[in-house]
Amino acid sequence: MKKYIILPLFALLAFGTFTSCSDILTVSSASNYSDDIVFGTPDQANIGIASIYEIFAENNSYRNRMWLQMGTNTDLEYRSGWADTKVGTYTKVDDLFSLYSANTTVAEGYNDNDANPWNRVYGGIERSNLAIEGIRTFGNPAAGNDMGQLLGEALTLRAFFFYDLIKWWGDVPARFVPVNADNIYVSKTNRDVIYDHIIADLQEASTLLSAPGGTFTATTQRISKDAARGLLARICLSAAGYSMRPDSTASDSIAIKITVSDTRKAELYTIARNACRDIITDGHYKLDSTYKTIFYQQCQNNVTPGREVIWQLPYKFGNRGRMLYNLGLPREADSRTGSHNTVAVGGQFKVMPSFFYDFDKNDTRRDITVVPYKVVKNVTLNVMEQSLASGVTGFNLGKWRSEWLSVPITGTDDGVAPIVLRYADVLLMFAEADLFLNGTEGADYFNQVRRRAFGQPLNTPSAYDLPLTLNNIKQERAFELCGENIRKYDLIRWGELKTKIDSASSNLTALRNGTGNYATVPSIIYYKMAVDSTIAPGERVLVIYGLNRGETDVKTTTDPTGGWVKKDWTKGISSTSSDFYLSDGFNTHMYLQNPDKRQLLPIMHQIILGSNGKLSNDYGYGN
């Protein structure tokens, strides 16, 4: 009977599957990369590192909100149009809270999903942690080899992310290994602990990383040895300075404090000075010949190692990142062929009017940084033209201009790579640390920055040199770094956020009244139009008289040069609501909340909800 033959076959079949059952359930996939593959070779690990950098380009990340907006609203820069959204108040320099419209109770659009900024930064930290763990386990990193460079980049980027978290949220959960069941829900860590950890990381990274021009450091958009050193200096200065602490509540009279001991403070300054000195001594960088070059070449995407820029956030040029869209000189859309921008750009931030007049008129940084016009379309002539602001309140930030771009902007993303660290900052940080440590080398480096600004030979003392004092450093950093996402954190670490903003307020009143430091500022300016086709065909540009102190001649339409139009400038009354006269309202509504008690963002509701009870808001915010 055939069936008796089939029966054993049946049994065999069943038995065959039974025996293999322990293996059959362990599956893998040809495409599944595991840590040993990802971090085992430099080529693969390089992709792992690129993934960390990619965080900068994510939406609601550094590409738009974070790097380009968080550092403004100081005594120098303020968000334009902010006043429009609050009925009856004209606040220019409000705290981060209102700037960012983050609210602990109302979940704001970009804060309430997983694409929120907090999550983006922690995404970067997780990718860094995976890379650090992976490379250490599988990559044999050492100083001078590719894996060493890649590990150094991961360490530096992680430090950078933690530093930014501290800047924006104060104490945050520290997580230095990839997320696991033990560290997914953790409470805030004292930021001094985090500082110590990332300072050590950066010190390690500085030894691992290559100098510019190595396999992975041929571009200023990747971390090199000097980028790590510069960030180390910057972080040490912050760690040694003032900050808001969880135990400082909104009702405290002293909301900000310094928590490190004097000994540690001296250590931190020493680390900072050494880091800057290493950069200077190695000589891989130098000041660009003119101040304009820095930003012009940045807009041209023509930045290479060996000049001023040490590190930029990496964006594909023309493709991702909203530098000009956010911070550019405002320029209306120009639909003509060959235009610089087919979409409107810029104008989200303005410059405090008095700051223009704080500059020496020979300081080349002034006309790059502060611009009294925007560029509009003259529909009648079908050309673009500079349009003078209605009054002194219309000063715009001018460091980034779409007319400097090597390719036109056709969308909101221009891909101009924001500069995080440049050599002038290193020189000034060196000077500051050196001053604190009673050194002798700082003054010359400090004055090199000034000499470049005034077009003087760098290494020869000039008439513009100033003595090295803390106040001079503070002022110089304002002139040099305005609009570069640095001022706010300088003021915070110096404990001067409120006092400086308050003095900006009194400066505005003095400017209007023509008193004090502003007694010699002309209240009237004259302008006329000229054509500068080098910018764009037929582009009409302004010729202005009266912006410099002492320019008090009366110009008329019949002057020898003729065609002047008169404009009330510092005392002008604007007819539209978007440009404000320097009224008391404008001058005094600097903020709604005491800036020294509102230096940090609240943690978004969503994050607190998802923290399994581990997080709550401090610093006077409710939950």
Tell which positions 461-500 bind another protein, by CB under 8 A: none
**Of 229-237, 318-326, 442-450, 526-534, which segment contacts another protein by CB under 8 A?**
318-326
Kindly tell me which of 116 and 507 has the beta carbon lying closer to another protein: 116
Kindly tell me which of 8 and 457 has the beta carbon lying closer to another protein: 8
**Of 30-38, 192-200, 262-270, 285-293, which segment contacts another protein by CB under 8 A?**
30-38
Helix (H) or strand (E) holding 525: strand 524-531
Tokens standing for residue 2: 């055939």
Q: Rounded to the nearest whole angstrom, what is the least distance from the CB of residue 41 to another protein in the complex?
A: 13
Among 124, 330, 483, 546, binds another protein (CB under 8 A): 124
Kindly tell me which of 323 and 615 has the beta carbon lying closer to another protein: 615
Question: Left (φ > 0), alpha (ψ -120 to 50) or beta: where does 399 sit?
Answer: alpha
Q: What one-letter code names the amino acid at 594?
A: N
Q: Which of residues 402-431 bind another protein (CB under 8 A)?
A: 407-408, 410-413, 417
Q: Rounded to the nearest whole angstrom, what is the least distance from the CB of residue 151 to another protein in the complex?
A: 16
**Of 35-43, 473-481, 513-521, 541-549, which segment contacts another protein by CB under 8 A?**
35-43
Q: How many CB atoms lie within 10 A of CB 475?
A: 13
Residues 6+ apart with CB under 8 A from 158: 124, 125, 128, 129, 132, 176, 198, 201
Among 290, 506, 606, 616, binds another protein (CB under 8 A): 606
Nearest partner of 241 among 259, 224, 263, judged by Cα: 259
Residue 109, burial from CB neighbour count under 10 angstroms (0-12, 13-18, 19+): exposed
Among 41, 145, 189, 219, binds another protein (CB under 8 A): 219
Pair type for strands 373-378 and 256-257: unpaired
3 counts as binding another protein under rule CB under 8 A: yes
Among 13, 530, 531, 554, binds another protein (CB under 8 A): 13
Q: Give the angle subtended at the CA of 312 by the CAs of 347 and 317, to the nearest 5°.
A: 70
140 counts as binding another protein under rule CB under 8 A: no
DSSP assignment letter at 110: G
Q: Rounded to the nearest whole angstrom, what is the least distance from the CB of residue 8 to another protein in the complex?
A: 11
Q: Rounded to the nearest whole angstrom, what is the least distance from the CB of residue 565 to another protein in the complex?
A: 24
Among 8, 81, 109, 562, binds another protein (CB under 8 A): 109
**Of 144-152, 214-222, 430-438, 510-518, which segment contacts another protein by CB under 8 A?**
214-222
CA–CA dist 164, 118 (Å, integer): 10
316 counts as binding another protein under rule CB under 8 A: yes
Kindly tell me which of 470 and 609 has the beta carbon lying closer to another protein: 609
35 counts as binding another protein under rule CB under 8 A: yes
535 counts as binding another protein under rule CB under 8 A: no
Q: Which of residues 366-385 bind another protein (CB under 8 A)?
A: none
Q: Which of residues 80-99 bind another protein (CB under 8 A)?
A: 87-88
Q: How many CB atoms lie within 10 A of CB 440?
A: 8
612 counts as binding another protein under rule CB under 8 A: yes
Distances (CA, A) of 196 to 10, 130, 199: 68, 21, 5
14-41 b/e with 16+ CB inside 10 Å = b?
eeeeeeeeeeeeeeeeeeeeebeebbbe
Q: Which of residues 325-344 bind another protein (CB under 8 A)?
A: 333, 335, 344
543-568 b/e with 16+ CB inside 10 Å = b?
ebbbbbeebeeebeeeeeeeebeebe
Q: What one-letter code names the amino acid at 257?
A: K
67 counts as binding another protein under rule CB under 8 A: no
CA–CA dist 325, 529 (Å, integer): 26
76 counts as binding another protein under rule CB under 8 A: no
Nearest partner of 228 among 215, 217, 239, judged by Cα: 217
Q: Rounded to the nearest whole angstrom, what is the least distance from the CB of residue 109 to another protein in the complex?
A: 5
Kindly tell me which of 246 and 455 has the beta carbon lying closer to another protein: 246
The strand pairing partners of 341, in sequence order, are 409
CA–CA dist 504, 581 (Å, integer): 16
620 counts as binding another protein under rule CB under 8 A: no
Contacts with another protein by CB under 8 A: the residue count is 93
In this structure, are residues 592 and 82 in contact, taking their beta carbons and an 8 Å threshold?
Answer: no
116 counts as binding another protein under rule CB under 8 A: yes
100 counts as binding another protein under rule CB under 8 A: no
Helix (H, G, I), strand (E, B) or coil at 77: strand
Tokens standing for residue 133: 């763990």
Among 114, 282, 532, 553, binds another protein (CB under 8 A): 114
Q: Which of residues 158-197 bind another protein (CB under 8 A)?
A: 173, 179, 181, 184
